[in-house]
Structure 1
Amino acid sequence: MTGTDSIEIRAGVELPANREEIRLHTADGLTLVGELAMPLERAPVATLVTLHPLPTAGGFMDSHILRKAAARLPALADLAVLRFNTRGTASPRGTSDGAFGEGVAEREDVAAAMAFVRQRGLPNPWLVGWSFGTELALKYGLEHDIAGAILLSPPLHRTTDDELRRWNSSSVPVVALIPELDDYLRPDAAAERFAVLPRVRRIDVEGGRHLWVGESQTRRVLEEIVLAVNPAASPLPTSWSGPQSGTPAGAAAEG
């Protein structure tokens, strides 16, 4: 393969980006491990701060939708993608300090990620939560200067109605992708729970499942993220004919 041959964008494809291993430091003294992926030749137009699914059920920074967002969207949509393991969570990148905090102590993890965004001057940060990560976004997102929030398969187990109502007083957009066949919150139930937040843009995804398994569901999720964050980059291409390599992750940086 030459440097300009076209390739189909599928599960294992990692498109060019500047990838940097990072460390985040929480106010309660923990170090969290993560990665920042940036567009190769341009400044990002926006930043995805990703919050992974439940670590006690196998969620981590490499959960597949988040990993594929980092693999594709810096090149395809000029987005910076920040992924990290919340406290006590392990992945091939490493293990973050601490222990699972039931969504309470993780308030400090979200704050550490947003502090890193500010320190680096990363533009227009959107929280992208998946499952448990949506609870963190809804509980703590309004404590920070964010451009918006995207909720993938929100279970709304830990988020109270009062916490949902708080978002009505903000102009920050909230987009929720509700899988038709979700294990926890399907469209009818989501309509009831989100009734207290009428301005949420709820997208019911026909045939969708909680884990968004398969390339068609992956593409649907990434497309909806880009439509919300950088619609000029939509629709996303299904093949790539640009350069085939970027900058691999180097020495870990502090944040």
Structure 2
Amino acid sequence: MTTTAHPIRALSVLPARRTDIELHTADGLTLVGELAVPVDRSPVATLVMLHPLPTHGGFMDSHVLRKAAWRLPALAGLAVLRFNTRGTSSPRGRSEGEFDGGRAEQYDVAAAIEYADFHDLPAPWLVGWSFGTELALMHGADPSVQGAILLSPPLARATDADLDRWDAFGRPLVALVPEHDDYLQPEQARRRFARVHQAEVIGVDGAKHLWVGEPAVRRVLDEIVSHVLPGHGPLPTTWRGPVQTAQTPDPTDEVPVAAPTSQEDR
């Protein structure tokens, strides 16, 4: 019997074991999150997702991160760990504490990395988007981290000292920079990241900061998988097996997060 190949659409949810989790920070907060892992095998690597700016609508369900959790356990055998940083709310719940502009969030990043280590999640990579890239650069150079993938890095909070730390760290650093980004475009990014000798800056033609639309999402997920699992990809666009459709339209499919309005907001 032949299983029908279902096209993978914006609201397609592929099989995974999804578990609500809590992270506990060194400064005493409880953060809420979700872990998605493959149904019938151990994960081959782990993505620790760091979301966009919560004061402008970013949270663990920001659309690229949500779709990574919907697809990558099934398509690539990856574990996907998403969580709300301090003071951030989503349908999963509200993480304790208050937004601190990237400073006290160092404890949030550390708690997520510690969770992956304690639960034997293999080969963790950080995947940050916008504000999440700042957290990865400022706080992510942990010995257990295999590398980081940055989506739309603004390089507003992260300093040259943070880049120099990643250079010394020596682990892979990949920046996906939209051609039409509002804050840092590919040529600027190449100049800024030049001080990190192992950094790879990939300019994405036609893309914008918010990665709106299914073609942009597919490009991001393909790049993530090809760097975390060299030789794997591009991802299939159909799925032979059970597939669900998200029950309500995802408002972030068209406007994923509100774009920050100033350098200070990024």
Note if contact 1:17-1:40 (Cα within 8 Å) is conserved in structure 2. yes
Q: For residues 103 and 144 of structure 1, what CA distance do their matches in structure 2 show? A: 21
Any idea what the Cα deviations from partners look like across 1:168-223, whole Å, max 9, x if unmatched?
22231110001000011011211221122232011000011100000000000000
Is the 1:90–1:96 Cα contact (8 Å) retained in structure 2? yes
Partner of 2:142: 143
Find the counterpart in structure 2 of residue 79 from structure 1: 78
Partner AA of 2:142 in structure 1: E
Q: How far apart in 2 are the matches of 1:200 and 1:233?
A: 20
Aligned partners of 2:46, 2:28: CA distance in 1, in Å? 25
1:223 to 2:229 alignment:
no
| Aligned residue in 2 for 1:95 | 94
229-238 vs 9-18, greater mean Cα deviation: 229-238
Q: State how far apart, in whole Å, the 2-side matches of 1:52 and 1:198 are.
A: 26
- In the TM superposition, residue 77 of structure 1 has moved relative to its aligned partner by 0.3
User: Matched residues in 2 for 1:32 and 1:144: separation?
Assistant: 22
Q: Which amino acid aligns with 1:155?
A: P
Q: Tell me how far 1:242 sits from its aligned partner.
A: 1.9
Which residue in the other structure is 1:250 paired with?
Answer: none
Whole-angstrom CA distance in 1 between matches of 2:44 and 2:145 = 14
- Which residue of structure 1 aligns with residue 118 of structure 2? 119
Q: Give yes or no for contact 2:46–2:78 (8 Å, CA) kept in 1.
A: yes
SS at match of 1:60: coil
Q: Is the 8 A contact 2:171 2:198 kept in 1?
A: no
CA distance in 1, matches of 2:186, 2:20: 37
The whole-number CA distance in structure 2 between the counterparts of 1:181 and 1:58 is 20
Deviations along 1:214-249, one digit per CA (max 9) or x if unpaired, are: 00000000000000011343110001012336xxxx
Residue of structure 2 equivalent to 1:180: 179
Q: Which aligned runs of 4 or more in structure 1 are off by greater than 4 angstroms?
A: none
**Contact 2:170/2:198 (<8 A) preserved:** no
Quote the Cα distance in structure 2 between the aligned partners of 1:151 and 1:226.
Answer: 13
Q: Distance in 1 between matches of 2:2 and 2:61?
A: 27
Name the CA shift for 1:195/1:232 in 2 (closer, same or farther; >3 Å): closer
Kindly indicate whether residue 236 of structure 2 is the aligned counterpart of residue 237 of structure 1. Answer: yes
Where in structure 2 are the equivalents of 1:195-210 lying within 5 Å?
A: 195-210=194-209
- How many residues align? The count is 244
Separation (CA, whole Å) in 2 of partners of 1:166 and 1:3: 52
Q: Give the whole-Å Cα distance in 2 for the aligned partners of 1:114 and 1:198.
A: 24
DSSP 3-state at the match of 2:176: strand
> What are the equivalent positions in structure 2 for 1:9-48 lying under 5 Å apart?
9-48=8-47
Quick one: which amino acid aligns to residue 116 of structure 1? Y
Q: Where do 5+ consecutive residues of structure 1 fail to align?
A: 246-255
State the 1:3 CA deviation.
Answer: 10
Q: Distance in 2 between the 1:113 and 1:144 partners? A: 14
Q: Which amino acid aligns with 2:164?
A: R
Q: Name the structure 1 match of 2:52.
A: 53
* Corresponding position: 1:66 with 2:65: yes
Please tell me whether the aligned partners of residues 128 and 149 of structure 1 are also in contact (alpha carbons under 8 angstroms): yes
- Cα displacement string for residues 28-61 of structure 1 (whole angstroms, at most 9, x for unaligned residues): 1111000000001011100000000000010000
Residue in 2 aligned with 1:155? 154
> Counterparts of 1:232 and 1:190 in 2: how far apart (Å)?
26
How high is the TM-score relative to the length of structure 1? 0.93
CA contact (8 A) 2:163 2:195 kept: yes
Task: Tell me if the contact between 1:3 and 1:243 (Cα under 8 Å) persists in the aligned partners.
Answer: no
Partner of 2:67, secondary structure, is helix
Q: Distance in 2 between matches of 1:3 and 1:34?
A: 37
